[in-house]
Every structure is written in C-alpha cells, then in structure tokens.
Structure 1
C-alpha cells in the first residue's frame, strides 16, 4: 500500500486505526468519526463498507480502507498500519477501540509511533470480566500510554485489568446544532403520519440488548393509559423479524428500517419521549457502554427512559433528564412511559433539563479539547 497524500490538511501527525467507522452505522462509529473530524493532521485506517468510497471523498482527511468489512490484528493489517505511520512520520496512533486492534501497538511503535491512545467502549468492559479475554485486554492495555473510558461503570471494570494511572475519561460529544429541540414538533409528526398523537421514539440498531422487545411487551399496558400513543422504532438490524412477530396485532408500533444519520433529527423531532430500555445479556458479555442516543435525545429536549445496563445510567440524570428502569421488567418500562406520556409538563421539564446538561457538558468542542490533550 502507498500512503495517501496528506491533502489540504497538511502533514499527518495522528493515525486512527479502527474497525468502527462510517458509513457503517452505530454509536462508536459516530464517536470515532467525530473525533477525526475535529483533529488536525489526521489519517484513518478502517474497513471497507457499502458506500465508503463516496463517504471518504467528502472527508477533509485521507481514509485508507482495508479490503474487507472487518479488521483483525493480523500481520497484513499490522503492515498496513505500520506503513501509514512510517510513510507519514506520524507520532501518535489512536485505536478506535482497544480490543482487539490494540494488539497492533508494538508494530506501530516499531514504525515510529511515540504515543498510543486507545479508546474503550462497552465490549472492553465486558472483556475485563471474562476469563481469557481479560488476559488479552491486560496485554493490550500494557501497550498503551492512555486508555479512555466512557463513565464510572466502564472505569471500574477496566481498572481491575489496566493500570488505573493510564485511564482517562473520554465520552462522545453531541452536535447540539444538529440535535436541538424541534421548532414545530407537530409538523415533524405530520410528515410521518402521526399528527396529534403521543409518540415514544427509540433510535437504535435492532438487536436484543437494546430492549425494543421490552418496549413492545410493555406497549399494551401503555395503550390502556394512553390509547392513541405510537411506538416508533427507528433503525434496522438482525432482530427486526423477531420484533415484527412480537408486535403483530399492535398497529401503533411502527418500524422505519435503517435511517441515514442525517435523517435522524427528524425522528427525534417527532417524539414526546425517548426510550431504550437496554439490558445486560450473556452474563455481562453483551452490555451497554454508554448510549450516545440518550445524549442525542436529551439534546433535542426529549425526556429519556434508559435501561440500567452497564454505563447507560451515566447518560441520564435520574429525575432531572429522564428515568432509569430495569430493562428486564416490561411492567417497569410501561410505568415509566405512562408517567411521562400522561404528564406532559413533567416530560417537558425533564427534556429541558437534558438540553441544558448536554449544552453544558457534552458538546463536541469540549470533547475535542479533552481528546487533543491526550494526543500530546
């Protein structure tokens, strides 16, 4: 591989090596992309994904694509990462997720990297508690100068495996211009054929951990209290057929399918309540690291209902920006939704509190400033 020219951004000082990158959808992908956009002198090495060529042309920095949709810490991936570092004389390498690509750290150091920063998410927290994976994560952490964590839950799990002196908090930012309170919520509802109806919206991939199934199980109880309510499930994923079977006969449950990132604000705008009652599965292996969607929903002024999985409660101030529930209990989920739908004033107060919290502590300017200090 020939290292690409630095382009308009000048010399490349930072190389990001990541499995998680757009146009593949997802919270980690958005997080890593947001950091790259706000970092001068960056290049990215990521897997191929449908539509990546057009996406890459729009970026203000070079992107090198691995030929398949998954990168593992193989010799071939190590060689490409090392050539990027050596070809540009980059001094810092950021791994978009510590596990498993952090195992490439010795190769990029040999190529000239002097500083290695590793981001962690929910799956590293799960690895920290799983025999076999725990030992691999300990080895990965030993190669890093800095390992980031999302919140207190992930920090506590990682600190049992990785030197606590290396751990620094770095959570995602929110674009508060893109995600902002709707100027005309009724117009947003009307565009979706939901005019005049209370709407609970969930924006997420359709996978078991996220809790869309519990929303559907809770929905008949919600309808008994709020008969005209609509449950809007935004996103695609492998669990869709199961969810559609579960929702059979419930006409007020709507599926949108996959929605492009730039279309998401319109769906938040149609909501009165945001809910994702995530739950931990597989004895802690499948766990929520934080939940960027909770932050986006708060930025739009919606009260949130979050499941008590992993670090999800770190994205909510209970009683101030939303409610935290047991995502394994449909009755508790239903009670939270009814409480907010039946009390619009309380819902609006929580939503306003969420907007204030996000603009005060979670903007991308604040996150980028923290990130840049870690690179130095």
Structure 2
C-alpha cells in the first residue's frame, strides 16, 4: 500500500488570513511527514510581499517552498488596455516559472501526488503535471469557486476541463460536492467530501478565560459573530434583526469580530437603527482570545445567504469552532453551512434573507435556557469528533487509494 506524500500548490498562504490557507495549514500540521506546500511570497490582492512569511515558514512543522508569485497581481477596478495586456503576457511567463517550480519541488521533495488548491488560477497545472510527470493530481475546492459563475464563458469551460482532468476532487461540503457533479458533470465517485475540522488542542479543555472585560463586553446575554465582513456572511441581516431581539431581551449584546469591505455599511446600519449601545464591532481579536470569546457567548450567529451571483459559504469553520467551545449556532440554510450546523441538534438553520426568522432564532436561544444548554452540549460533543488529525488521516487514506488504484466510494467521507 502506498504512503501518500502530497505537495499542496496554492497561490497564497499563511500568514495571510483566509479559510483555504487555514485548511491546508491544519492538514499539513497534523501530518507533516505527508504534506508540503508550494506557494508565493507575494500577496496578489494587495500587490506587495506577504508580511512575516519567513518567520511563519521557519515555525511550520512541514516544508514550505516559496517562489515570487504563482499568478499575476489582481488588476484594479477599472483596468485599461495596457494593464490588461501587461497582465496577460505576465501570466504566460509566470506559468512557465510555476510549472518549473512545481516539477522541481516534486522531485526534490520526494512527493508522489500533487494537490492544487486554487481551481481558477492554477487548474491549468492538472494537465501540465500529468503530462510532465505522469502523476496523480487532485483539486481541493472550498465552495465559492464552484457556486460563483466564472467571469466569462471561456473561464467556465476551463473550470469544467480542469475538474474533468483531475484524478480526484476534494469538496469541503455535501453542497459543494453535489454542485460539482451537477454543474460540471464530474462523476460522483471522483469526488471526495471532506468537511473542515477543528483544532482540538485549543478546545479539548473548555475555555474559561474571562475575555469579556478586556474586550469591553458586559455580563449580559451575548450573541457573537465572527468572520470576514462581506455580504454573504449575513452580518447586515443580523443587525437589522437586532431591534426585534432587544424588544424581548433588552439587556442582550451583540459582538461582531472581523474586518472587511462591508465594515462601513455595517456601521451605517448600526447608526440608522440606533443600536450602538448594544452592538460592538470588535475588529481583530487574537487567536489566543477567540476560544474563550466563543465560550463566553450564549449563542453564535452568522445567518449566511447565497447571493445572486452564486457567492455562498463553502462550509463555515467558525460554526465548528463555536461548537467546540460549547456554544450553539444560528446559520443560514445556504451553502455548506448545512453541514457545519446540524439543524435542531447543534444549532438552528434559518433563511438568511428573513429578518423575522433570524430574530426569532436568536430570542429562542436567549430565552430558552434548557434548549440552549442541550444544544450547547450536543454541539461540543459533535465538534470534538471533527479534529484535524482525523481529517488529515482521511485525506491521506483517500490519496493512498488513488495511488493504488482503489475505487473510491462516493458515499464515504465526513460532511
């Protein structure tokens, strides 16, 4: 039986903040002998070098190789013809550099399989590596790159080609898996559903540190939300539902952790509704404080929704982290959140576009102590079965099967 040693290739990586890079880091950290990463030194969004990447790489348990970039910098909002042409020719040059770097890392690192972690930007590597090295190549998908339509028909066709060429496809939720099969015609037995995990080292002992005082929160009922401040997360709808919550639980407080492009809009909603006394936008909260903040909340709420362009939540790791801290969740009945929150057991699923449904769910948790406590216990028990150690082992077993030519059972896997 083979022992998979996988090179993960992704356009950007930690210490940048983001869901995909957190997943790859967690998997590699739990099985450092089976994984390595090839990524870029450059942040293509901000168009500068990633801050402190050297220190992060030195502290990692697994090998990380960095080249300057794996894709061109993102263009501005209104790129002119010259900048478009420059980006096009730059992309062709970068492709040659990336392929050379992957082949070199693959050979020197003793790898036997490659995982591509950026479908749109790096999917072209699937065929190129199969031809250059005759190896197995898999794609790791997280949701939004499947649910959102690509920027033109040519790019959509490219996605379909990359997915069909790959030897296997990882999907982080049953939603993503089903969509890959339906939208791009990928056979079900080619897709491995591997739900995200949780860092049990942080949560095995229930967090007890009092972080409310240093964060300026009172002792009253607390609703917590954590995530990048973007529309699909539903922070705007949660704020609009908040006055209804206050009519039932006037001492309730809402804390939102994170930053992002929707921040100014959220501040405007808070001002418009006159709820600033009971709502706090906390911005960044350190990783050391987050477990205790999750644990100190009465309920975690992020009523995500699918946007008209298909943008949706691929899984929702924050729901699992809240559960691990013993806090039940309210999530939108959309995207992969339906796998992260077990409706009626570890939390409640609501229509993220329905302000009434959101406010009812919040008040249900804040006023029904018995039900809230039962779901809190169930949430923690479930989360403690979803550790990254098991996820890494499951992925390695799947890759071993690919290397040995063992047929994958599409019904296996954890959502």
TM-score, normalised with respect to structure 1: 0.89
What is aligned with 1:233? Answer: 256
Of residues 145, 155, 163 in structure 2, which corresponds to 1:124? 145
Deviations 1:347-375 (A, max 9, x none): 11111111111223x12222111111122
Alpha-carbon RMSD: 2.4
What is aligned with 1:6? Answer: none
Number of matched residues?
Answer: 363
Instruction: Give the 3-state SS of the residue equivalent to 1:279 in structure 2.
Output: coil
What is aligned with 1:44? Answer: 37
**Stretch of structure 1 that moved more, 123-132 or 189-198:** 123-132
Q: Distance in 2 between matches of 1:41 and 1:177?
A: 20
Shift of 1:53: 1.6
State whether residues 201 and 275 of structure 1, in contact with CA within 8 Å, keep that contact through their aligned partners in structure 2: yes
Distance change >3 Å, CA 101–CA 91, structure 1 → 2: same
State whether residues 152 and 311 of structure 1, in contact with CA within 8 Å, keep that contact through their aligned partners in structure 2: yes
Of residues 208, 211, 214 in structure 2, which corresponds to 1:188? 211
Instruction: Give the 3-state SS of the residue equivalent to 2:330 in structure 1.
Output: strand
User: Does 2:289 align with 1:263?
Assistant: yes
What is aligned with 2:172? Answer: 150
Shift of 1:128: 7.2
Gaps of 5+ in 1: 1-10
Of residues 10, 13, 26 in structure 2, which corresponds to 1:18? 10
Instruction: Give the 3-state SS of the residue equivalent to 1:99 in structure 2.
Output: helix
**Stretch of structure 1 that moved more, 52-61 or 70-79:** 70-79
User: Does 2:75 align with 1:82?
Assistant: no
What is aligned with 2:391? Answer: 367
Q: Distance in 1 between matches of 2:201 and 2:62?
A: 23
Greater RCO structure (CA 8 Å; 6+ sep): 2
User: Does 2:364 align with 1:339?
Assistant: yes
Gaps of 5+ in 2: 42-49, 73-90, 401-415
What is aligned with 1:29? Answer: 21
State whether residues 253 and 278 of structure 2, in contact with CA within 8 Å, keep that contact through their aligned partners in structure 1: yes
What is aligned with 2:241? Answer: 218
Q: Distance in 2 between matches of 1:304 and 1:258?
A: 21
What is aligned with 1:324? Answer: 349
Distance change >3 Å, CA 66–CA 200, structure 1 → 2: farther
Deviations 1:50-95 (A, max 9, x none): 2222111100222122435956783332222222123334221111
Distance change >3 Å, CA 101–CA 35, structure 1 → 2: same
Q: Distance in 1 between matches of 2:163 and 2:35?
A: 23
TM-score, normalised with respect to structure 2: 0.81
Point out 4+ residue stretches in structure 1 off by more than 6 angstroms: none
Of residues 357, 361, 364 in structure 1, which corresponds to 2:382? 357
